[in-house]
Structure 1
Amino acid sequence: MRIAAKRYFAVLATLSLLWGGNAARAEFQGQSVSDVVAVSFLSGWRLADGNHMAAIRIDLAPGWKTYWRAPGEGGVPTLIHLDETRDVRDVVIHWPRPDVFVVNGMRSIGYKDSVVLPLEFALDAPGEIAIAGRVDMGVCLDVCIPITLNLSGGLPTGTQRDAAIVAALTDRPLTAAEAGAGTARCQLTPISDGLRVSVSIALPETGALETVVIEHRDPGMWVSETVTRREGTTVSATADIVPPHHGAFALNRRDLRFSVIGSRMAVELDGCQG
């Protein structure tokens, strides 16, 4: 099983690191991977519905970053491969609120210092589950470096909650209702290889570096970086969506997700109206 931004979600889980290649090695400038990033697996607890909540904790050296599910033009997307895992039919990452970084004119979205990424596993068996596979992700200082992470560990049956995971679940983007946002309204315009989406949202300011991110439910759809504007209580943005065949396509507005990320808070809205 390979999962990449499935149903808006990229998935990440790990215990150990692998890396290779002369280009990647050179960018570490003599540092080992353990000097740059430390990753630990939090085994978590079994939920009342039979799912399991676990997490990974990523600790980064000063100045280094890793990425959100939509990493931006300066980031590296994340893939998880669970080919060696049984009794897990799906896994979803509950992303904490990310930060927006602009370096040399390029925007990336992610996390610095440390982050706990909660992972909710949907299980097909009631007992303790062994998980195994690998994860591809990126870390970045001045440039982004892809690394491969080995995944192995266990999901116990206990129900004692982990405080670090609970805190990360709490530090999530707000819903539209929680933020006092209005309905997202979007206009679709055909372009030569797809569609241009222009969205406007009535929303209180979310802070500095306010950025709108537009995502499509299908990870095969390419979505451009947005141009974000604010006028009073309304934030708006425009992006291009291009399908794999580079041509006209029918867009279901419910397949879009809009995230507004600022320095004080982030807000997520599903779908838009015409």
Structure 2
Amino acid sequence: MKHFRPLVSALTMVLFLIAPAVASASDTTGLSKIDLRPGWRMADGSHMAALHIMLEPGWKTYWRAPGDVGIPPQFDWTGSQNISAVSAHWPTPHVFFEQGMRSVGYKSEVVIPLHMTASQSGVDMTLAGTMQIGICKDICIPANLSFNATLPPTSTRPDPTIAAALTDMPYTAREAGVSNVTCRFEPGADGGLVLHTRIDMPSSGGTEYVVVEAGNPHVWVAEPDSRRDGGALYASTRLLHVDGRSFALDRSELRFTVIGNARAVDIQGCTP
């Protein structure tokens, strides 16, 4: 089983950027290098940058929905200026099994594009904040990354590394040929809900894993049981409020990611 160190011993890396730069992480266990790529200003006035995380051999980090044993990544953009919204784009993840438990994430490295909307177009943006991630090998360690970057409007040439990450995204439901997604709920024995989902779609290759996100950060989702029957993929999972409270779910907020050998598919919402 993994051992989790207390948060007080979390690793901390600080990145201060005015122009493209690299921050060394050679003295940080599990982290090889961290690079906040400043990116470019887009035609609509928004800005595309990225966080490039490189890991030492044998280490991994986690996707936005890491599974039962993973540490979910968290962003805090407090201190940013001239930025009204930041959206992280997560490249296609991989499924790992350790001690019989599933996690979802990345080995070796990951480039996480960050799309920022400006409050005022044509002037500098300041991206300042923190990100907490989990990195794992024989143990799992929460690592705190802090960054402060000035992003000028004059940088308009796309960064090939970021552009490549943007192409390595899960297919949309339409691209993957998803024709119908239905779901139903039933009461769970532990006071939560049991969700049963049917996804009509072609196979994504080999064994298909389904990740369910509730659209509510206070609702815990168990690892689904999934099976394929012809052109339909079935998944069932349990949902519980983290405080043991009752809760309601909006079907349109449910998010399903199917990860197969050939592709991953991102599906938003379902119908009764």
Is the 1:195–1:248 contact (alpha carbons within 8 Å) kept by the matching residues of 2?
no
The aligned residue for residue 223 of structure 2 is: 225
Q: In structure 1, what is the Cα distance between the partners aligned to 2:157 and 2:239? A: 43
Whether 1:140 aligns to 2:136 is yes
Whether 1:78 aligns to 2:73 is yes
The aligned residue for residue 57 of structure 2 is: 62
Is the 1:93–1:119 contact (alpha carbons within 8 Å) kept by the matching residues of 2?
yes
Equivalent of 2:165 in 161, 164, 168? 168
Post-superposition Cα deviations, 1:96-140, rounded to whole Å, max 9, x if no partner, equal: 110000011111101111221110012212211222222111111
Q: In structure 2, what is the Cα distance between the partners aligned to 1:83 and 1:40? A: 20
Partner SS state of residue 164, structure 2: helix
Post-superposition Cα deviations, 1:123-158, rounded to whole Å, max 9, x if no partner, equal: 212211222222111111123210111111121212
Is the 2:41–2:48 contact (alpha carbons within 8 Å) kept by the matching residues of 1?
yes
The aligned residue for residue 206 of structure 1 is: 204
Partner SS state of residue 181, structure 1: coil
Q: CA deviation at 1:168?
A: 0.7
Structure 2 gap segments, 5+ residues each: 1-6, 12-25
Counterpart amino acid of residue 103 in structure 1: E
Partner SS state of residue 179, structure 1: coil
Q: In structure 1, what is the Cα distance between the partners aligned to 2:140 and 2:197? A: 30
Partner SS state of residue 49, structure 2: strand
Is the 2:183–2:198 contact (alpha carbons within 8 Å) kept by the matching residues of 1?
yes
Share of identical aligned residues, percent? Answer: 41
Is the 2:205–2:263 contact (alpha carbons within 8 Å) kept by the matching residues of 1?
yes
The aligned residue for residue 31 of structure 2 is: 36
The aligned residue for residue 150 of structure 2 is: 154
Q: In structure 2, what is the Cα distance between the partners aligned to 1:224 and 1:235? A: 18
Is the 1:100–1:209 contact (alpha carbons within 8 Å) kept by the matching residues of 2?
no
The aligned residue for residue 14 of structure 2 is: none
Q: In structure 1, what is the Cα distance between the partners aligned to 2:70 and 2:226? A: 19
Partner SS state of residue 251, structure 1: coil
Is the 2:214–2:249 contact (alpha carbons within 8 Å) kept by the matching residues of 1?
no
Relative to 1, partners in 2 of residues 1:52 and 1:63: Cα closer, same or farther, differing over 3 Å?
A: same
Whether 1:125 aligns to 2:120 is yes
Q: More deviation in 191-200 or 64-73?
A: 191-200
Relative to 1, partners in 2 of residues 1:148 and 1:205: Cα closer, same or farther, differing over 3 Å?
A: same
Q: CA deviation at 1:209?
A: 4.1
Is the 1:99–1:262 contact (alpha carbons within 8 Å) kept by the matching residues of 2?
no
Q: More deviation in 138-147 or 246-255?
A: 246-255
Q: In structure 1, what is the Cα distance between the partners aligned to 2:176 and 2:229? A: 18
Number of residue pairs matched?
A: 250
TM-score (norm 2): 0.85
Equivalent of 1:258 in 243, 246, 256? 256
Relative to 1, partners in 2 of residues 1:209 and 1:100: Cα closer, same or farther, differing over 3 Å?
A: farther
Equivalent of 1:271 in 225, 244, 269? 269
Q: More deviation in 189-198 or 242-251?
A: 242-251
Is the 2:226–2:236 contact (alpha carbons within 8 Å) kept by the matching residues of 1?
yes
TM-score (norm 1): 0.85
The aligned residue for residue 99 of structure 2 is: 104
Is the 1:86–1:131 contact (alpha carbons within 8 Å) kept by the matching residues of 2?
yes
